Structure 1
Amino acid sequence: MRAAYVSSLQPDAPLSGLTVGDLPFSAPDGWVPVTVRASSLNQHDIWSLRGVGLPADRLPMTLGCDAAGVTPDGDPVLVFPVVEDKADPRGYSLFSERHPGTLAEQVAAPRENLLTIPEGVPFAEAACLPTAWLTAYHMLVTRGRAADAGAVLVQGAGGGVATAAVALGVALGKRVYATSRDQWKRDRVAELGAIALEPGVRLPERVDVVIESVGEPTFEHSMKCAAPGARIVVCGATGGHLARIDLRRVFAMQLEILGSSMGTPAELAELLRLCATGQIRPVIDSTYPFDAIPDAFTRLSSGDVFGKVVIEH
């Protein structure tokens, strides 16, 4: 079976540990083999190549968390990327952490992890949903309680989660502010229906929900932009994890700082429904054939992406 996998851990040059080649395939008892039609890349894949959360004794490890494909019966399915894992302190792991990932011709998954793809939703768009879009949805709707919000701030728009949060916030009817250092990304954010701003700029109003994946460079700004009782929802810290927090503002404004990671199968099913009804459409930065996976990783690593990098089989 052809697969893209971690052959060696390279913290300082992660792409040098990426190999595309043949690996054996097997499906554990009760798991279903899925022929992959499309998958998408995540920053999680880069971290895996660096060895974060992936020790050397698990190599070679097939990369990838996201996949859409067909079962042996020909049913189109989307793979929910979270697997129960009692050995992990979180109680779960993602594909490519303990079980082979989705950047392969086939992936095996528990039957309960397979969601039917509605008619009219392309494999490439479905493959964008399981990690980035699911994370954004869980941050906004569940952790951030966006139903009670009027305005939302998304820091660092451009990457998969932040771009999904912008599109979802607009689809939910919220006033969405989004920051980016790059003018061309701000232009793209505006096309999605958000109010695009440079990082650190004063907003015309305080917001009820802040979507934070940048961390240290933006967190002070996120705090200042938060309305009384606002929720600052954090899913990552790509810019640094040691953010300074003025606790006086936290208690005086009664702010909630909430961690968030992934989501539930029901939330992923809702995302599929929103796609099928045309209320959202995943933002795809670029599409590559399977043989060009190294080029796709180079694209992801460049920092110049807007939306998801997709692999079509």
Structure 2
Amino acid sequence: MLAASVTSFSSDSPLDGLQVGDVPEPATREHWTTVDVRAASLNHHDLWSLRGVGLRKEQLPMVLGTDAAGVAPDGTEVVVHGVIGADGHGVGPRERRTLLSEHYPGTLAQRVSVPTANLIPKPAALSFEEAACLPVSWLTAYTMLFTTGGLAPGDSVLVQGAGGGVSTAAVLLGVAAGLEVFVTSRSAEKRERALSLGAAAALGPGERLPKRVDVVLESVGQATWQHSVRSVRPGGTIAVCGATSGDAPPAELARIFFQELRVQGVTMGSRDDLAALANFVSHHDVKPLIDSVHPLARTREAMAGLVDGTQFGKIVVTP
């Protein structure tokens, strides 16, 4: 079958190790299901894998991809939850938690095998391309807003870095839930697009907010960390899901303990969270924003958009 794999690592030129070609069909395992992939979306996790983060040379080649939507053997349309292990479903209770493409082959392929318990019914109102955006970026945003952040209608949130998959999901989910959403971006065009999605205000990097917010969603890291710490109200929460600009500079510990701030890391969410997200988008008629759709054979071109950081919304690949 056709798949996009990492075959070598390069921290400076990650696309050098990306290869699209034939790979073996998924192995048959008890309590696992092989899904015909109809769409998969790209994530920064794919770039980290190409840079050699989370993988060892002896694991190569490894099929990339952590989320997908497709069709199960019985014809059911499903969304794939990409977290394997941690609860025993399909792998045993002692297997450590990993994401697809770390220990088991990923979703940038014509077919992918996952524990049967990892399959969530696809929302009927979403296309396969839209549904493929849910398991990583949208689930992470949902968890940061409502599980970690505990936000409710009328609360406020700052989303650092408009345009990426998590940030666009956070804006759309937050607006649908009645939150006051602030965003930041270096790009005037991206700020305007965030406002068109319903953000209350869009600011340049480091600009002072009209007020301190209840929760900050931090995925940028070094470039925005100080602004995040200084933009959250006393007793508020900073939810961290990544650091695309590198690790944070000095942590502002004095401000964190004096203001009694909570810093919480987030990696996607549980199967129950994904099911709750699917129900949320169905009931609120919210659809993921897609930047572009590419055939699997042109995954390198699709991944280049992620490297450049020029996208607004999700980049999707279709086998």
Q: What is the TM-score normalised by the length of structure 1?
A: 0.96
Separation in 1, partners of 2:146, 2:114: 27
Cα root mean square deviation, aligned: 1.8
1:163 match: secondary structure: helix
- Give per-residue Cα distances to partners, 1:49-107, cap 9 Å, x unaligned: 111001111111000001110011111011100000699x9930000000000000000
SS at match of 2:215: strand
Which position in structure 2 is the counterpart of 1:234?
A: 240
Indicate whether 1:7 and 2:12 are aligned: no
Structure 1 residues 114-168: Cα deviation after superposition (integer angstroms, max 9, x where no partner): 0111322211110001001111111111111112862100111111112211211
How far apart, CA to CA, are the structure 1 residues paired with 2:53 and 2:77? Answer: 32
Could you tell me which amino acid in structure 1 is paired with residue 261 of structure 2?
A: L
1:174-216 CA-partner distances (Å, limit 9, x unpaired): 1110000001110110111111110111111110000001111
Question: What aligned pairs does 1:1-313 form with structure 2 within 5 A after superposition?
Answer: 1-25=1-25, 26-84=27-85, 91-147=96-152, 150-194=155-199, 195-313=201-319
Deviations 1:220-261 (A, max 9, x none): 111111111110111111112132233332222211111111
Which range moves more in the overlay, 245-254 or 155-164? 245-254
Q: Which moved more, 1:233-242 or 1:132-141?
A: 233-242
Residue 11 (structure 1) shift: 2.1
Cα deviation per residue 1:268-295 (whole Å; 9 max; x = unaligned)?
A: 1122122323432101111111222111
**Alpha-carbon distance in structure 1 between the residues aligned to 2:154 and 2:146:** 10
Q: Is the 8 A contact 1:149 1:209 kept in 2?
A: no
Residues 107 and 258 (structure 1 numbering): CA distance in 2 closer, same or farther, change over 3 Å? same
CA contact (8 A) 1:153 1:177 kept: yes
Consecutive unaligned residues of structure 2, counting only runs of 5 or more, are none
- Cα distance in 1 for residues equivalent to 2:248 and 2:205: 18
- CA–CA separation in structure 2 for the residues paired with 1:144 and 1:127: 24
Q: Distance in 2 between matches of 1:202 and 1:142?
A: 27
Q: Would you say the 8 A contact 2:223–2:248 is kept in 1?
A: no
SS of structure 1 residue aligned to 2:306: helix
Q: TM-score, length-normalised on structure 2?
A: 0.94
Matched to 1:72, the amino acid is P
Distance 2:153 2:123 in 1: 29
The 8 Å contact of residues 153 and 178 in structure 2, kept in 1 or not, is answered as no
Rounded to whole Å, the distance in 2 between the matches of 1:118 and 1:213 is: 27
Alignment-mate amino acid for residue 255 of structure 2: R
